[in-house]
Amino acid sequence: MNQVHVHSLFHEPTSTFTHIVYDHPQGKAAVIDPVLDYEANSGRTHTQQLEQTIAFLREQQLELVWILETHAHADHLSGAQILKQKQGGKVAIGAHISTVQSYFGKVFDIPAEEMEKGISFDHLFADGEAFDIGLLQGQALHVPGHTPADMAYLIGDALFVGDTLFMPDVGTARCDFPGGDAATLYHSIQRLYSLPDSTRVFMCHDYPPASREQVQAVTTLGEEKQHNIHLRADTSEADFIARRQARDAQLAVPNLLLPSIQVNVRGGHLPQPKANGTAYLQIPLNLI
Ligand SMILES: [Fe+2]
């Protein structure tokens, strides 16, 4: 296996990492979880984070072949479609996104054809499906629990965990969204824990506690198994579920949940403009 190169960018406003994974300079690349900046007060989108991503791809002369979403994020708008327009590549997510699309399609009254495969996402990964990034081989792993459709991507010794594990001193992802389930997340993480301890674990987010100053993009599975504050290798399912549910009971609705989900179940497409030429996001009242 060729060396897996990873360049990680942190999006401060939403604490999200975008990872650029490539085989070699002038080779092929995947971008995992691209972010479209969004100002909730004005309803304005920006491409600041996407421009940094694109600048790196161009500097390294990388051909973008995949734009991979780990799940339908509830904390930021996906930049997948704008990235695809500018750099090419296929936008992909896990096949179970259909469950999330049918639930939130009703909440936001989204026409089914806007979420169809080929319109929203170009490719839906089955669990265990293999894919290539030039000389690199990847595998898509279905790891539900945070949502029913979460994916992790294993590319060589690099595991992009999405919202499952966070840094050992932060713990794990919440399981209180529709279709989320702590027992399911426990089993998904056991599956990840069966990989070698030396596996590099790349974060989807980092929320450093007061005891740590810097955000960190990567740790190892060995570190997670020994030190994760919610789920170590020796933590029982019942202990994890109790800890996870107690934590979830204290968490607020994410700031950008409503704007994010209705864009992200469309694969990162903004809603179609109305007859007056303006596109609108919808806010369901007294539903969430
Ligand atoms: Fe998430």
d(CA 139, ligand 1 centre) in Å: 20
Residue 278 lies in a domain: no
Cα diameter, the chain: 59
Q: What is the pLDDT of residues 134-174, one digit of tens each?
A: 999 999 999 999 999 999 999 999 999 999 999 999 999 99
Cα separation, 199 vs 67, in Å, equals 22
Q: Are 125 and 95 in contact (CB under 8 A)?
A: yes
Residue 287 lies in a domain: no
Residue 151 lies in a domain: yes
Residue 284 lies in a domain: no
In the three-class reduction of DSSP (H, G, I as helix; E, B as strand; rest coil), residue 73 is classed as coil
Q: In what order do the strands lie in the sheet with 35-39?
A: 44-46, 35-39, 77-78
Which CATH number belongs to the domain containing residue 126 in this structure? Answer: 3.60.15.10
Q: Are 137 and 151 in contact (CB under 8 A)?
A: no
Residue 139 lies in a domain: yes
pLDDT for the residue 2: 78
Residue 82 lies in a domain: yes
pLDDT for the residue 198: 98
d(CA 70, ligand 1 centre) in Å: 8
78 exposure class (CB count in 10 Å sphere: 0-12, 13-18, 19+): buried
pLDDT for the residue 276: 98
pLDDT for the residue 1: 59
Residue 276 lies in a domain: no
Q: Which domain holds residue 252?
A: 5-264
Residue 270 lies in a domain: no
pLDDT for the residue 91: 98
pLDDT < 70 regions, the chain: 1
d(CA 174, ligand 1 centre) in Å: 8
Question: How many domains in the chain?
Answer: 1
Cα separation, 153 vs 151, in Å, equals 7
Residue with tokens 């309803």: 43
pLDDT for the residue 251: 96
d(CA 236, ligand 1 centre) in Å: 24
